[in-house]
Amino acid sequence: MIKSPHFTLFNDMIRRTLFESEQGQEGGILLPERAKQDRANKMKLDEVAALAGVSRTTASYVINGKADQHRISQATRDKVMAVVDAHNYRPDSRAASLRGGQTRTLGFILPDLENASYAKLAKRLEQGARARGYQLLIVCSEDEPDTEKALCDMLVSRHVDALLVASCLSPEDPWYQTKQASGTQIIAIDRTMAPEHFISVASENRKACEELTASLLQPDLAHIALITALPSLTISQERRLGFLQALAGCNAQYHLCEGLHFSRAEGYRLISTLHHELGALPPALVTTSYILMEGVLDYLIEQEADMSQLAMATFGDDRLLDFMPFGINSLPQRHDELAALALDLAFQAITGDYRSGLHHIARSLKRRR
């Protein structure tokens, strides 16, 4: 049979690939370098010890940097490390962490990944955790209590060393007290939980909302609205209280518009409902999250409202607000400080130093009107 040049070339390529795989050389369609690494990763500590002619315990001491502590000779160290280098052996760090009672993982339950503020916070937490050799597992509750509890159980089952959570559970719910009593280190972030039981790291809310609301007040103001959500949350209660304190002594009629979720759609629905109830738009309004403000703006644009006649302010911030033809005052979240403090307290808790209490990060009002 006459073999075509293509057949011969294909055979030569297969033979070369197989040869290079056996020799551990680079190249070939079978990715031999990866195969070599896989073989190294499958090598057991017992095999390293046998090849070096030492006990498993001795090999473990040398590989894990405890040779001095156990007075192992330099000759024995050299034999073990020669095997390690020759076979590119890497110890299973996850297994070692589990044996030490830690997984070097953290959990973070956030309410909404579409909320830009939480996305920024998650990014900074992940970067900070990674810089310290930890992985951050991020999950989203959608502000649904049952979903949050299921996600919490999942993260606890993965033995996270600490769990950071922006919870939607009511303050009376004992869920996290039970988890903490079972050994999980709970850190409340952005949304506070009972400071007598938990570490809470959050931006200040009551005084911040009072200042934000006061920035809109005028002597002749007739109506002002607060667009908010989830009134059972401590964070919502504090902001509502700050709003009302700012109005003490003010003759303006106020409207509390409280939604079911912090979402763009809910912001749209709340301002639409108020508009139809009043027969006009309120001349001033405050939103307790930026994502609610986005929904309000969607509605105002749809209605072709003259926004220059409206006084608006919001928690949260976005650079887009700097380019709008009308001013919206805002309270930016200090994500870097919030994440750094929460991680510091989480790592202290992991080492056994858990100190419950409330830690506030101050906000600074950004005026645009």
pLDDT digit string (tens) for the chain, length 369 residues: 444 444 444 444 434 444 444 444 443 344 444 444 444 456 888 899 999 999 998 988 888 777 887 889 999 999 999 998 888 887 765 555 555 568 899 999 999 998 999 999 999 999 999 999 999 999 999 999 999 999 999 999 999 999 999 999 999 999 999 999 999 999 999 999 999 999 999 999 999 999 999 999 999 999 999 999 999 999 999 999 999 999 998 999 999 999 999 999 999 999 999 999 999 999 999 999 999 999 999 999 999 999 888 999 999 999 999 998 899 999 999 999 999 999 999 999 999 999 999 999 999 999 998
What's the order of all strands across the beta sheet hosting 253-259? 253-259, 223-229, 284-287, 311-315, 328-331
Give the span between the Cα atoms of 88 and 98, in whole angstroms: 23
> Quick check: 327 and 308 in contact, CB under 8 A?
no
CATH 1.10.260.40 domain position(s) in the chain: 5-97
Q: What residues contact residue 25 under an 8 Å CB cut-off, 6+ apart?
A: 32
Q: What integer pLDDT is reported at residue 95 of this predicted model?
A: 59
* Assigned superfamily of 206-331: Response regulator (3.40.50.2300)
Q: What integer pLDDT is reported at residue 92 of this predicted model?
A: 64
Q: What integer pLDDT is reported at residue 64 of this predicted model?
A: 75
Q: What integer pLDDT is reported at residue 45 of this predicted model?
A: 87
Which residues are registered as beta bridge partners of 90?
A: none
Q: What integer pLDDT is reported at residue 89 of this predicted model?
A: 85
Question: How far is CA 130 from each of CA 4, 75, 124, 127, 133, rounded to the nearest angstrom?
Answer: 55, 36, 10, 5, 5
Q: What integer pLDDT is reported at residue 6 of this predicted model?
A: 42
- Closest by alpha carbon to 208, among 287, 315, 336? 315
Give the span between the Cα atoms of 337 and 350, in whole angstroms: 20
The distance in angstroms from the start CA to the end CA of the chain is: 89
Q: What residues contact residue 12 under an 8 Å CB cut-off, 6+ apart?
A: none
Q: What integer pLDDT is reported at residue 67 of this predicted model?
A: 84
CA-based Rg of the chain, rounded to a whole angstrom?
29
* Assigned superfamily of 5-97: lambda repressor-like DNA-binding domains (1.10.260.40)
Q: What integer pLDDT is reported at residue 60 of this predicted model?
A: 85
Element of type H or E holding 245? helix 234-246
> Does domain 102-203+336-361 sit in CATH 3.40.50.10860?
no
CATH 3.40.50.2300 domain position(s) in the chain: 102-203+336-361, 206-331
Q: Where are the beta strands (DSSP E) in the chain?
A: 105-110, 135-140, 162-165, 186-189, 199-203, 223-229, 253-259, 284-287, 311-315, 328-331, 357-361
The label of the residue with tokens 């996850």 reads 94
Q: What integer pLDDT is reported at residue 85 of this predicted model?
A: 87
Give the span between the Cα atoms of 228 and 236, in whole angstroms: 7
DSSP category for residue 311: E
Q: What residues contact residue 225 under an 8 Å CB cut-off, 6+ apart?
A: 254, 255, 256, 257, 271, 274, 282, 284, 285, 286
pTM above 0.85, yes or no: no
Q: What integer pLDDT is reported at residue 40 of this predicted model?
A: 46
In our burial notation (b when 16+ CB lie closer than 10 A, e otherwise), range 108-133 reads bbbbbeebbbbeebbebbbebbeeee
Q: What integer pLDDT is reported at residue 94 of this predicted model?
A: 57
Q: What integer pLDDT is reported at residue 103 of this predicted model?
A: 87
Q: Is 83 helix (H, G, I), strand (E, B) or coil?
A: helix
